[in-house]
């Protein structure tokens, strides 16, 4: 089972249980509460609700769902926001947790939540959102259930906090031309090469250089590497004089221009490495993870994981391959290799790819948190 976010009217969602942001007393008020009563059949639901009596803040109780596309309505009473110092955050955690626990007791396989207390009760939407996702993540680590967070419109969905702060800037950065020039050949970034000399080097050639930058600025003799070569095979030259650096780079380019020795088809096929599936299970073993924690962190269900395990030639969708890269907590180079085994690569023109790269660089691997950012940018979500 998994967690997903959708834009919809919660009264139109199909789930075993629908959560209502209830009034503590057996009556209904404007907002989600009223909408659920009216869609279910107000008189019938109110009659059953009166049998429960008062519900305390943070607690949860259930009634039948009547005309809704559900078996149950779970009524939970959210806190009224004052200033955050009156137990509001703990109370809203209890709303989510107690509702999930009750749904589990009732044998539910799916549950739909609104953002509790963010309407007339004034709870900050960004805080409510992150609290909800935190509770969902904890619950799904030990239980199986489909959790659906229902957001009515864009105004209901807000992100805040340090981990989300740099996403838009990261996406807006140009990774194709300007960024390559900046990193591999911009005059200001090339110690030992004058601006005039740099202007005479074609962009194609400048991109073949990788300069050890700020980390080596204090050293008198920076080192010039060919960026297309692995570090242990990179040729280097002390940048005492411009011509010396260019001389080495010319040699590198000339070497790269030489035709490769032709190989037979049998030789090429013999060099096949691990499939994506084989790589997945090797990494699980190497990192000491269990199968269960990996597929849960990937936000995919057990059936899909079993299908992958039984087929060494399994070809995943890109989004599935990404989900498992995050679940394995791979760094950016490991992720690129892992995706490459399934025939995929990151693209600087894809918002989805840039968001994934951003979180990997931030060492944030929680798929629920990443899905919030993907949802906010109208991108497909990770998982089932």
The answer, yes or no, to whether residue 201 has pLDDT greater than 50, is no
Contact 221, 211 (CB under 8 A): no
Instruction: Please state whether beta strands 110-113 and 209-211 pair in parallel, antiparallel, or not at all (unpaired).
Output: unpaired
Bridge partners (DSSP) listed for residue 226? 209
Q: CA gyration radius for the chain?
A: 28
Helix (H, G, I), strand (E, B) or coil at 5: strand
The segment with the largest mean pLDDT, out of 149-153, 157-161, 356-360, 367-371, is: 356-360
Structure tokens given for 166: 């740099």
Which of the two residues, 74 and 206, has the higher pLDDT score?
74
Contact 375, 157 (CB under 8 A): yes
What is the rounded CA–CA span in Å between residue 125 and residue 122? Answer: 8
Domain residue extents for the chain: 3-158, 178-257, 268-376
378 is catalytic: no
Phi then psi for residue 370, to 5 deg, are -65, -35
Residue 30 is predicted with a pLDDT of: 82
The answer, yes or no, to whether residue 347 has pLDDT greater than 60, is yes
What is the rounded CA–CA span in Å between residue 133 and residue 214? Answer: 39
Residue 162 is predicted with a pLDDT of: 64
| Sign of the four-CA dihedral 203, 205, 210, 214 | negative
Ramachandran quadrant class, 3 (left: phi over 0; alpha: psi -120 to 50; beta: rest): beta
Bridge partners (DSSP) listed for residue 148? 4, 112
The answer, yes or no, to whether residue 223 has pLDDT greater than 90, is no
Contact 206, 181 (CB under 8 A): yes
Alpha carbon of 266 to those of 48, 71, 79, 260, 269: distances in Å? 74, 60, 69, 17, 5
Residue 381 is predicted with a pLDDT of: 92
Contact 38, 171 (CB under 8 A): no
What is the rounded CA–CA span in Å between residue 177 and residue 159? Answer: 31
**What are 39-69's pLDDT values in tens digits?**
999 999 999 999 999 999 999 999 999 999 9
Where b means 16+ CB within 10 Å and e means fewer, 203-227 reads eebbbbbbbeeeeeeeeeebebbbe
- For residues 115-140, give the mean pLDDT: 90
CATH architecture of 3-158: 3-Layer(aba) Sandwich (3.40)
Whether the predicted model's global pTM rises above the 0.85 cut? no
Bridge partners (DSSP) listed for residue 150? 6
pLDDT grade, residue 307 (50/70/90)? very high
Residue 248 is predicted with a pLDDT of: 47
Structure tokens given for 320: 């599935």
Contact 128, 117 (CB under 8 A): yes
- The mean pLDDT of the chain is 80
Phi then psi for residue 247, to 5 deg, are -60, -45
Residue 178 is predicted with a pLDDT of: 42
Residue 219 is predicted with a pLDDT of: 42
Closest CA to 32 of 142, 148, 127, 156: 156
What is the rounded CA–CA span in Å between residue 271 and residue 263? Answer: 11
Residues composing the chain: 384
What is the rounded CA–CA span in Å between residue 20 and residue 3? Answer: 18
Window from 198-212, 315-329, 333-347 with minimum mean pLDDT: 198-212
- For residues 67-76, give the mean pLDDT: 97
The answer, yes or no, to whether residue 31 has pLDDT greater than 70, is yes
**What are 224-280's pLDDT values in tens digits?**
444 444 444 444 443 444 444 444 455 545 555 556 566 676 655 555 678 999 999
Window from 56-60, 148-152, 295-299 with minimum mean pLDDT: 148-152
Residue 105 is predicted with a pLDDT of: 97
The answer, yes or no, to whether residue 29 has pLDDT greater than 50, is yes
Percentage of the chain lying above the pLDDT 90 cut: 55
The answer, yes or no, to whether residue 79 has pLDDT greater than 80, is yes
Window from 40-54, 84-98, 166-180, 236-250 with minimum mean pLDDT: 236-250
Q: Which of 16, 33, 127, 353 is catalytic?
A: 33
Instruction: Please state whether beta strands 60-64 and 72-76 pair in parallel, antiparallel, or not at all (unpaired).
Output: antiparallel
- Strand ranges across the sheet with 60-64: 3-7, 146-151, 110-113, 17-21, 72-76, 60-64
The answer, yes or no, to whether residue 161 has pLDDT greater than 90, is no
Residue 88 is predicted with a pLDDT of: 94
Residue 274 is predicted with a pLDDT of: 85
Whose tokens are 């840039």? That residue is: 354
Window from 44-48, 91-95, 216-220 with minimum mean pLDDT: 216-220
């Amino acid at each position: 089972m998994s967690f997903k976010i959708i834009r919809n009217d919660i009264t139109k969602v199909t789930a075993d249980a629908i959560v209502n942001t209830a009034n503590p007393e057996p009556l209904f008020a404007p907002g989600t509460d009223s909408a659920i009563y009216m869609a279910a059949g107000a008189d019938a639901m109110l009659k059953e609700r009166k049998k429960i009596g008062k519900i305390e803040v943070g607690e949860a109780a259930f009634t039948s769902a009547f005309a809704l596309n559900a078996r149950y309505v779970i009524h939970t009473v959210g806190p009224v926001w004052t200033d955050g110092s009156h137990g509001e955050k703990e109370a809203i955690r209890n709303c989510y947790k107690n509702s999930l626990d009750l749904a589990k007791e009732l044998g539910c396989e799916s549950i739909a939540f609104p953002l509790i207390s963010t309407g007339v009760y004034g709870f900050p939407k960004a805080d409510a959102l992150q609290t909800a996702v935190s509770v969902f993540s904890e619950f799904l680590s030990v239980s199986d259930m489909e959790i659906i967070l229902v957001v009515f419109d864009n105004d209901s969905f807000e992100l805040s906090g340090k981990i989300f702060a740099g996403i838009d800037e990261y996406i807006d950065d140009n990774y194709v031309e300007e960024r390559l020039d900046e990193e591999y050949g911009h005059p200001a970034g090339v110690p030992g090469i004058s601006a005039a000399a740099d202007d005479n080097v074609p962009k194609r050639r400048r991109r073949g250089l990788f300069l050890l930058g700020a980390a080596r600025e204090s050293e008198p003799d920076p080192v010039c590497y060919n960026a297309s070569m692995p570090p242990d095979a990179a040729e280097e030259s002390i940048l005492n004089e411009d011509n010396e650096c260019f001389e080495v780079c010319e040699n590198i380019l000339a070497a790269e221009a030489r035709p490769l020795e032709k190989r037979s088809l049998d030789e090429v096929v013999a060099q096949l490495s691990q499939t994506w599936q084989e790589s997945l299970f090797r990494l699980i073993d190497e990192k000491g993870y269990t199968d269960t924690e990996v597929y849960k962190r990937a936000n995919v269900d057990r059936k899909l994981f079993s299908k992958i395990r039984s087929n060494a030639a399994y070809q995943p969708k890109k989004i599935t391959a990404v989900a498992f890269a995050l679940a394995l907590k791979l760094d950016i180079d490991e992720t690129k290799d892992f995706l490459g085994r399934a025939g995929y690569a990151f693209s600087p023109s894809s918002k989805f790819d840039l968001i994934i790269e951003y979180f990997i660089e931030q060492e944030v691997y929680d798929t629920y948190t990443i899905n919030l950012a993907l949802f906010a940018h109208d991108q497909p979500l990770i998982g089932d």
